[in-house]
Structure 1
């Protein structure tokens, strides 16, 4: 895991499109109101399950995290940050978390269900994206990062696996495990090797600048089908990031090359997005000249690509996973339970095992 730029280097220009802000309403999450369905994804700390609200007949994604695993891998503060930030953030290009709850052994985060699947899956299927599609997704990222940076939140984990497509074809950022509120700089090492900015690798302290570097990497990968700095050995990836020059395929548009070069500028005082004007400088770049930013924010632009989605709970755009790990969770010690103090709502005695869907219990997560 890796993380950190200077204060106010990414302040938003007054002309930068921002969503209308309102106080975010948090629902009370009662696990017994939900029917567990398919697994959408698995990871070190637990899994994500499709769930259906029995009364509303509406589908959501339930992220179920094992506290013991979070403690073992020193991720408690990360999950606290994720819950805190997602509880206050509201943006069309960021996945919504309407509720969360915890019990003695697990944390449950309820998200809107985004049925189009990961951008990663579609990129691998198509090999690489056409320029108009890459530009559409990149513009969505610029809007989301401009909003987050205005709130002094850095994301630090941009990659195709953390981007989801809605049924209508719009992009949403998910997984805020490495996100952090930072007014100045931070020094924690976190992120995905191919997307790490030089200042992270060199432990110089970092901030909002790292998100713009990662945006340049993402644009390149969407256009080329592979990242600009790649190697099987992470150390070699770091060396390439620090010392290699970006080489572009011949089909890259000159305007696109220019933007990527300005995003992959090693000097953060010269990197676009970090200089005066902030995200609005990226918005005004000639590669984005065809983008109507306000219309994109309002989702009034027809996306260039529509994922194939069936009914409201269709999971065909996600991989299949076994529905139970069959693990027995040992009770946490009192001092371990205290690590999660301040996280928020307690489940009030509702155990995950009390939520059943066709005989599959959440306790199997």
Structure 2
């Protein structure tokens, strides 16, 4: 069933403040060395401002992957150099069952390439749009897996900053994979950049104040509300960011609570969407422990959930490996024909973590 909420586009980004000086955790995964000729490009899975994501198949192990291709000139012109480098550096550090894996990166004269998991079940957004809203136990399952992913990121001093159903993918077994780390960064203390998706912004971001990792817990509250009702708490039929931001700053007292909401669900949403970050669940003395111990999550076996031992409420209809039918179809526009071409490289030095790879066959 269609709902009247279009896919949210991220906000424009202001210049990022300098990252804090912290020792980055060492990558847990050996970084692979890849080149275009290692893969057969199958189809486009998605498009964006800087490029597109392709389904590809490895010529070596015959497994399917997703390759994110970013046009360097567009990344530079839209002042996304730091965010692009942050995405790569963050994903190199992270290995978690509910977070997408980055297997390697490379670049050529015109483009950056990120080799990632192919997650065949598509976006949680699509499932939610089809369902209109989720029953309480279904929303709880996805929220609990997201909470585990956020807690892992925060344990590495990583702030995510773009939680929404569009960025949660479903694996073949129905478990989640948090994807799209374009706004993520290492943040040991606070930061101030205005970025994210409008409906999911915490009040301190809207007010352009410094903020910490608790904005991710705020966004979890918004996500739970959207999963249970079908729309974010401050949604308007006609988007008006000024009105939206005014409602966000007024806090949860302005929310119209659907009658079907369980009392415990309402309570955890209120505690996650608390306007005062010092009183927000996930950001107090017990950290994420307050979230995990909330009565709404009482029946969740966190150890079994983390081990993917609990059956997911929805199993994607997948005919076999490489089935991308859960994703929208996009015209390929012969984009892949332009990859790997020789030419002037004006921006390569801005992306030192992306190694160069020739298009010659191994």
TM-score with structure 2 setting the length: 0.88
Matches within 5 A, 1:95-134: 95-134=100-139
For residue 344 of structure 1, the aligned residue among 345, 354, 357 is 354
Name the SS for the 2:116 alignment partner: strand
Establish whether residue 240 from structure 1 lines up as the match of residue 247 from structure 2: yes
- 1:11 aligns with none
Establish whether residue 253 from structure 1 lines up as the match of residue 262 from structure 2: yes
Name the SS for the 1:291 alignment partner: coil
Number of aligned positions between the proteins: 334
Provide the C-alpha distance between the structure 1 equivalents of 2:304 and 2:141, rounded to a whole number of angstroms: 12
- Checking the alignment, whether the CA contact within 8 Å between 2:277 and 2:283 is kept in structure 1 is yes
Which deviates more, 53-62 or 163-172? 53-62
- Checking the alignment, whether the CA contact within 8 Å between 2:112 and 2:354 is kept in structure 1 is no
Cα offset, 1:350, TM superposition? 2.2
For residue 82 of structure 2, the aligned residue among 67, 72, 77 is 77
- Checking the alignment, whether the CA contact within 8 Å between 2:109 and 2:345 is kept in structure 1 is no
- 2:57 aligns with 52
Report 1 or 2 for greater relative contact order, CA contacts < 8 Å, sequence distance ≥ 6.
Answer: 1
- 2:327 aligns with 318
- Checking the alignment, whether the CA contact within 8 Å between 1:59 and 1:312 is kept in structure 2 is yes
- 2:190 aligns with 185
Cα offset, 1:30, TM superposition? 2.4
Cα offset, 1:149, TM superposition? 0.5
- Checking the alignment, whether the CA contact within 8 Å between 1:68 and 1:332 is kept in structure 2 is no
Quick one: structure 1 residues 141 and 295, their matched pair in 2 at CA, closer, same or farther if it must change by over 3 Å?
Answer: same
Runs of 5+ unmatched residues, structure 1: 5-20, 355-365
Cα offset, 1:247, TM superposition? 1.9
- 2:149 aligns with 144
Provide the C-alpha distance between the structure 2 equivalents of 1:338 and 1:81, rounded to a whole number of angstroms: 15
Cα offset, 1:325, TM superposition? 5.8
- 2:200 aligns with 195
Quick one: structure 1 residues 68 and 332, their matched pair in 2 at CA, closer, same or farther if it must change by over 3 Å?
Answer: farther
For residue 221 of structure 2, the aligned residue among 167, 191, 216 is 216
Name the SS for the 2:68 alignment partner: strand
- Checking the alignment, whether the CA contact within 8 Å between 2:28 and 2:95 is kept in structure 1 is no
- Superposed CA RMSD: 2.1
For residue 284 of structure 1, the aligned residue among 290, 293, 308 is 293
Establish whether residue 225 from structure 1 lines up as the match of residue 269 from structure 2: no
- List per-residue Cα deviations over 1:285-331 (Å, max 9, x = no partner): 00000100011111000111111111100011000000126697995
Matches within 5 A, 1:155-174: 155-174=160-179
- List per-residue Cα deviations over 1:206-263 (Å, max 9, x = no partner): 1111000000000000000000012311222111111252221001000000000000
- Checking the alignment, whether the CA contact within 8 Å between 2:173 and 2:315 is kept in structure 1 is yes
- Checking the alignment, whether the CA contact within 8 Å between 1:178 and 1:190 is kept in structure 2 is yes
- Checking the alignment, whether the CA contact within 8 Å between 1:93 and 1:173 is kept in structure 2 is yes
- 2:312 aligns with 303
Cα offset, 1:23, TM superposition? 2.7
TM-score with structure 1 setting the length: 0.87
Name the SS for the 1:274 alignment partner: coil
Provide the C-alpha distance between the structure 2 equivalents of 1:140 and 1:333, rounded to a whole number of angstroms: 42
Name the SS for the 2:196 alignment partner: coil
